[in-house]
Amino acid sequence: MTIRCTAKLLKEMGISKTSLADIQDAGFDEWYAHLFFLQRRKCVIFCHVATLYAVVAYDVKREQIKRLDALFSNNLGRRLYEDGFSADTIKGFLEKAGNVVCARTIDKKTLGSINQMIFEFSNNMNVGGYGAEENFKDSEKRLTNGLYQKNGRYIKPAEELTLELRGNISLRAV
């Protein structure tokens, strides 16, 4: 699995751009990761390139960020479970996520989508008057069920991921 990290995230991880793998196209297994701050807390957003399915790690520490593979797997498994994917699907997806390779970003459209998602996530976190946990879950769910533009058409990331997974990992009806 390839995770393309932004310069901001690489700096936090203590990794130089020159030490990254030079991967041009990782296909279905390609994700982007970006560090941002919300309410003075470090957050990392992971975005699947093909489907724009987003996962947010909220209030993370530098030590967690340095173990990006574990941070990614834990939060991806949680998000897939909360979106109603079957246990077999989650297990299969996480097995594929076992070998994480960091690479540099190459697609400005995906970065633009990530910035839009961060804007929406931040706004949703500041509305509602819920406790932090409920507000976080609601805000993150809105990212996976919102409408985003990809290749000239509007998509819902959770639905796109379901369609993509059918070709890569067997899905059971939930």
User: Dmax over Cα atoms in the chain, in whole Å?
Assistant: 45
Query: Which run of H or E residues covers position 38?
Result: strand 30-38
Is residue 106 included in any domain, yes or no?
yes
Place of tokens 């790690």: 57
If pLDDT is split at 50, 70 and 90, which confidence band does 95 have? confident
Question: What span, in angstroms and rounded, lies between the C-alpha atoms of 118 and 96?
Answer: 26
Number of domains in the chain: 1
Is residue 173 included in any domain, yes or no?
no
If pLDDT is split at 50, 70 and 90, which confidence band does 172 have? very low
Is residue 105 included in any domain, yes or no?
yes
Is residue 174 included in any domain, yes or no?
no
CATH assignment of the domain containing 137: 3.30.420
What is residue 170's predicted lDDT score, i.e. its pLDDT?
43
Is residue 159 included in any domain, yes or no?
yes
What is residue 132's predicted lDDT score, i.e. its pLDDT?
64
Average per-residue pLDDT for the chain: 85
Residue of 111, 110, 81, 105 lying closest to 93 (CA atoms): 81
Q: How much is the pTM?
A: 0.88
Place of tokens 């639905």: 159
What is residue 26's predicted lDDT score, i.e. its pLDDT?
66
Question: What span, in angstroms and rounded, lies between the C-alpha atoms of 144 and 10?
Answer: 25
Q: β-pairing, 153-155 with 101-104?
A: unpaired
Q: Residue 49 sits in which domain range?
A: 2-168
Is residue 34 included in any domain, yes or no?
yes
> How does pLDDT run across 125-146, given as a tens digit for each residue?
877 655 566 778 888 888 888 8
